[in-house]
Amino acid sequence: MKHLQTLRYIEGIVRAGSIRKAADDMNITASALNRRIQRFEEEFGSEIFERLPRGVRLNPAGELLMQHFRTQVSDLRRVQGQVADLAGERRGHVAIACSQALIPYFLPNQIATYRKDHPGVTFSVMVRDREAAERDLSLFDSDLALVFEPIHLVDFEVISHCPQIIHAIMRRDNPLAAKQEVRLRDCLDLPHVLPSTNYGVRSLLEMGAKAGSRPLRPSVESDSFDFMRHYVRHENAVAFQIPIGLQLEGDDTVVSRPVSTRDVPVGSLFLGQQRGRSLPVAPARFAQGLTRALENLADA
């Protein structure tokens, strides 16, 4: 691609918010970077940055240009993957934006299994909340998103989904641990630990609380499910998580119990991509494997 390096420069400026800072990040002079952008704008026939008192940002023409660039780079990666497949050795890179629940168990297993057969494929895994995951897809920063209860789904093309019942996490000596299923009101009568409002688990709990007789009054809030799971060991409180992020068998101190779906609706874990995008070979094939794994979970 003729302007591939220019694309990298433009992306660096967008991330940095100014030409000077981007130049420092990319180890070139600000004047050289500015000249490079000016030459490109002359050739392109339009300015792509709006000059601000303390930096720059893409103008509408620049936004359109960046979308075009990202589509072209994605198409190039797809062709490169197809060529590698012709040679019998799959190569490529898979970028995934995912909910925290996928980090401890599910994705490490899926990626390691895939790389056993295709060691030439590399991965990057970014923990994102629901909105940030969708934004990553739109910016082509991620090929795939695997998130619990996405927010918009306008440009999110669903590949697969898997139902997930909210579970309450508690110490073994908590009175609710003796039950096979717990009611939300009983959980909220105890000290409870909740995720931040931008997480799908919190959204479903809020829906359940509004329909019930107990308000959410968390003793502790956090954007880390790992913190919340460990916190209940220290205070006889209740935390919440989806089962794909839980493996508590053999744990002598903590257990999980499903929250009744009479109180909290069943959520869904969605695997998706940017609508209308043709994925490169490696992400497309990996998505097929994830789909089979999610279907097996749903059937279990």
Could you read off the pLDDT tens digit of each residue along the chain, which spans 300 residues? Answer: 556 777 788 888 888 888 888 888 888 888 888 888 888 888 888 888 888 878 888 888 888 887 777 777 777 776 766 666 645 556 788 999 999 999 999 999 999 999 998 888 899 999 998 888 888 888 888 999 999 987 777 788 899 999 999 999 999 999 999 999 999 999 999 999 999 888 889 999 999 998 877 889 999 999 999 999 999 999 889 999 999 988 767 677 899 999 999 999 999 999 999 888 888 888 888 999 999 999 888 776
Does 178 fall in a domain? yes
Domain total of the chain: 3
Whole-number pLDDT of residue 184: 94
- Residue-level pLDDT at 300: 63
Residues 277 and 128 in one domain: yes
Assign residue 52 the CATH number of its domain.
1.10.10.10
Task: Give the span between the Cα atoms of 3 and 123, in whole angstroms.
Answer: 25
The whole domain housing 177 covers: 166-265
47 class by beta-carbon count within 10 Å (0-12 exposed, 13-18 middle, 19+ buried)? middle
Q: Assess whether 258 and 273 both reside in one domain.
A: no
CATH number at residue 106: 3.40.190.10
Q: Answer yes or no: do 146 and 104 share one domain.
A: yes
Pair 243, 294 in one domain: no
Look at residue 280 in the predicted model and tell me its pLDDT.
Answer: 83
Residue 2 has what pLDDT? Answer: 57
* Residue 127 and residue 241 share a domain: no
The answer to the question of residue 255 being in a domain is yes
- Tell whether 261 is covered by a domain: yes
Residues 132 and 203 in one domain: no
Q: Same domain, yes or no, for 193 and 212?
A: yes
Inside any domain, residue 84: no
Same domain? 284 vs 241: no
- In this structure, is residue 143 part of a structural domain? yes
15 and 47 together in one domain? yes
Q: How far out from the chain centre does Cα 272 lie? A: 10
* Residue 71 in domain: no
What pLDDT does residue 86 have?
47
**219 and 230 in one domain?**
yes
> What's the pLDDT at 13?
85
Whether 220 maps to a domain, the answer reads yes
Asked whether residue 211 is domain-assigned, the answer is yes
| 203 and 245 assigned to the same domain | yes
Return the amino acid letter for 242: I
Regarding whether 14 and 56 lie in a shared domain, the answer is yes
